[in-house]
Protein backbone atom coordinates (compact mmCIF):
# COMPACT_ATOMS: atom_id res chain seq x y z
CA UNK A 1 0.00 0.00 0.00
CA UNK A 2 1.33 3.43 -0.93
CA UNK A 3 1.51 6.55 1.16
CA UNK A 4 -1.80 7.98 2.24
CA UNK A 5 -3.33 10.47 4.65
CA UNK A 6 -6.24 8.43 5.92
CA UNK A 7 -7.41 4.86 6.55
CA UNK A 8 -11.15 4.37 6.04
CA UNK A 9 -13.02 2.57 8.80
CA UNK A 10 -12.86 -1.16 8.09
CA UNK A 11 -10.24 -0.76 5.34
CA UNK A 12 -8.13 -3.89 5.05
CA UNK A 13 -4.50 -4.18 4.08
CA UNK A 14 -2.89 -7.32 2.68
CA UNK A 15 0.45 -8.31 4.15
CA UNK A 16 3.08 -10.98 3.71
CA UNK A 17 5.72 -12.17 6.11
CA UNK A 18 8.38 -14.19 4.30
CA UNK A 19 9.30 -17.67 5.46
CA UNK A 20 11.79 -17.72 8.35
CA UNK A 21 13.54 -20.46 10.27
CA UNK A 22 10.66 -20.26 12.78
CA UNK A 23 7.61 -20.39 10.47
CA UNK A 24 6.51 -20.69 6.81
CA UNK A 25 5.40 -17.71 4.72
CA UNK A 26 2.42 -16.00 6.33
CA UNK A 27 -0.08 -13.95 4.35
CA UNK A 28 -2.86 -12.07 6.09
CA UNK A 29 -5.32 -9.21 5.78
CA UNK A 30 -5.80 -6.76 8.63
CA UNK A 31 -7.33 -3.44 9.54
CA UNK A 32 -4.90 -0.71 10.59
CA UNK A 33 -4.68 0.49 14.19
CA UNK A 34 -6.47 3.72 15.04
CA UNK A 35 -4.34 6.54 16.45
CA UNK A 36 -5.46 5.66 19.99
CA UNK A 37 -4.73 1.95 19.50
CA UNK A 38 -1.32 2.82 18.04
CA UNK A 39 -0.52 4.97 21.09
CA UNK A 40 -1.64 2.16 23.41
CA UNK A 41 0.56 -0.39 21.63
CA UNK A 42 3.51 2.02 21.71
CA UNK A 43 3.03 2.66 25.44
CA UNK A 44 2.67 -1.01 26.36
CA UNK A 45 5.69 -2.04 24.28
CA UNK A 46 7.82 0.75 25.79
CA UNK A 47 7.18 -0.65 29.27
CA UNK A 48 8.93 -3.82 28.14
CA UNK A 49 6.82 -6.23 30.20
CA UNK A 50 7.08 -9.42 28.10
CA UNK A 51 3.89 -11.13 29.38
CA UNK A 52 1.92 -7.90 28.81
CA UNK A 53 3.34 -7.60 25.29
CA UNK A 54 2.35 -11.21 24.55
CA UNK A 55 -1.19 -10.43 25.73
CA UNK A 56 -1.18 -7.26 23.64
CA UNK A 57 -0.12 -9.21 20.53
CA UNK A 58 -3.04 -11.60 21.02
CA UNK A 59 -5.44 -8.68 21.43
CA UNK A 60 -4.18 -6.94 18.27
CA UNK A 61 -4.42 -10.16 16.25
CA UNK A 62 -7.96 -10.84 17.49
CA UNK A 63 -9.13 -7.28 16.74
CA UNK A 64 -7.33 -6.59 13.50
CA UNK A 65 -6.48 -9.78 11.57
CA UNK A 66 -9.39 -10.56 9.27
CA UNK A 67 -7.99 -13.55 7.39
CA UNK A 68 -4.74 -15.46 7.10
CA UNK A 69 -3.17 -18.66 5.86
CA UNK A 70 -2.22 -19.92 9.36
CA UNK A 71 -3.15 -23.56 9.89
CA UNK A 72 -2.77 -26.21 12.58
CA UNK A 73 -0.74 -29.38 12.12
CA UNK A 74 -3.81 -31.17 10.75
CA UNK A 75 -4.32 -28.48 8.09
CA UNK A 76 -7.39 -26.90 9.71
CA UNK A 77 -7.38 -23.09 9.94
CA UNK A 78 -6.39 -21.21 13.09
CA UNK A 79 -9.11 -18.73 14.02
CA UNK A 80 -7.43 -15.37 14.77
CA UNK A 81 -10.36 -14.48 17.06
CA UNK A 82 -9.84 -17.50 19.36
CA UNK A 83 -7.28 -16.79 22.06
CA UNK A 84 -6.95 -20.52 22.84
CA UNK A 85 -5.70 -21.02 19.28
CA UNK A 86 -3.57 -17.89 18.85
CA UNK A 87 -1.83 -18.59 22.18
CA UNK A 88 -0.33 -21.65 20.47
CA UNK A 89 1.27 -19.70 17.60
CA UNK A 90 5.03 -19.69 17.21
CA UNK A 91 6.07 -16.69 19.38
CA UNK A 92 8.18 -15.15 16.59
CA UNK A 93 5.18 -15.16 14.24
CA UNK A 94 3.07 -13.39 16.85
CA UNK A 95 5.76 -10.72 17.35
CA UNK A 96 6.24 -10.26 13.60
CA UNK A 97 2.50 -9.83 12.94
CA UNK A 98 2.21 -7.30 15.78
CA UNK A 99 5.28 -5.44 14.54
CA UNK A 100 4.07 -5.25 10.95
CA UNK A 101 0.60 -4.03 11.93
CA UNK A 102 2.14 -1.46 14.30
CA UNK A 103 4.67 -0.13 11.76
CA UNK A 104 2.34 0.06 8.78
CA UNK A 105 -0.41 1.70 10.83
CA UNK A 106 2.11 4.46 11.56
CA UNK A 107 2.80 4.87 7.83
CA UNK A 108 6.07 2.95 7.67
CA UNK A 109 6.64 0.54 4.79
CA UNK A 110 5.77 -3.11 5.41
CA UNK A 111 9.26 -4.11 4.32
CA UNK A 112 12.22 -1.99 5.40
CA UNK A 113 14.19 -0.56 2.53
CA UNK A 114 17.93 -1.10 2.32
CA UNK A 115 20.24 1.87 2.40
CA UNK A 116 22.84 2.05 -0.37
CA UNK A 117 25.62 0.40 1.69
CA UNK A 118 23.39 -2.50 2.74
CA UNK A 119 22.16 -2.98 -0.82
CA UNK A 120 25.75 -3.05 -2.06
CA UNK A 121 26.68 -5.64 0.60
CA UNK A 122 23.78 -7.85 -0.48
CA UNK A 123 24.86 -7.57 -4.12
CA UNK A 124 28.41 -8.54 -3.15
CA UNK A 125 27.15 -11.54 -1.15
CA UNK A 126 25.08 -12.69 -4.11
CA UNK A 127 28.16 -12.65 -6.34
CA UNK A 128 29.81 -15.12 -3.97
CA UNK A 129 27.03 -17.66 -4.29
> Measuring CA to CA, how many Å separate 31 from each of 13, 61, 65?
6, 10, 7
What does the domain layout of the chain look like in residue ranges?
Answer: 13-127
| pLDDT tens, N- to C-terminus, the chain (129 residues) | 456 666 667 788 899 999 999 999 999 999 999 889 999 989 988 988 888 888 889 999 999 999 999 999 999 999 999 988 999 999 999 999 999 999 888 777 665 443 444 445 545 545 554
pLDDT at 110: 60
Within a 13 Å sphere around the CA of 24, how many CA atoms are in the beta-carbon half? Answer: 7
Q: Is the pTM of this model over 0.85?
A: no
Name all contacts of 69-74 with Cβ < 8 Å and 24+ positions apart: 69/25, 69/26, 69/27, 69/28, 70/26, 70/28
**What is the end-to-end Cα distance of the chain in Å, rounded?**
33
Check residue 10 and give its pLDDT. Answer: 72
Amino acid sequence: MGKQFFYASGETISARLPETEAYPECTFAYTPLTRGEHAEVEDRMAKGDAPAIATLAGEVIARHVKSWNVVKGDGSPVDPKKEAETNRLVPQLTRDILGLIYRTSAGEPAQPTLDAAAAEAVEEDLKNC
